[in-house]
Amino acid sequence: MVSQTANPGMVILDPTSPPLAVHARLATRPSDLNGKVLGLLNNSKLNAANLPDEVGELLSERYQFAKVIKGSKPNASTPCPEAIVKEFAASCDVLVTSNGD
């Protein structure tokens, strides 16, 4: 969007755009976490591994997981590679992801 000002030599540019509508729904939640496979995925930013590890420990105090799978994105500034997404989707019943800084 371009806006004119009272000063004829000045033009204000707005680089933002309205949000895009996303047609998505929340994943179905399991009624119980016992016996499930828990995935812990961090985005590789500084301190990003701390959050899922702590949440994993807290959840493990309350539930008996069949397995806990940990991983991280190779680069925080890019989307998670499709191979990692597919691996976690195929292997995990629930996933905790984090964004550090």
Asked if residue 80 has pLDDT above 60, the reply is yes
* pLDDT tens, position by position, 14-58: 888 888 888 888 888 999 999 999 999 998 888 787 888 899 999
Give the residue among 39, 95, 28, 98 at the shortest CA–CA distance from 67.
39
- The residue type of 3 is S
**Residue at 7 is within a domain:** no
**Residue at 6 is within a domain:** no
Asked if residue 6 has pLDDT above 80, the reply is no
**Residue at 18 is within a domain:** no
**Residue at 71 is within a domain:** yes
**Residue at 31 is within a domain:** yes
Q: Output the pLDDT for position 3.
A: 61
Q: What's the structural domain count of the chain?
A: 1
How far is residue 24's CA from residue 57's CA, in Å, rounded to a whole number?
30
**Residue at 13 is within a domain:** no
How far is residue 88's CA from residue 98's CA, in Å, rounded to a whole number?
14
**Residue at 62 is within a domain:** yes
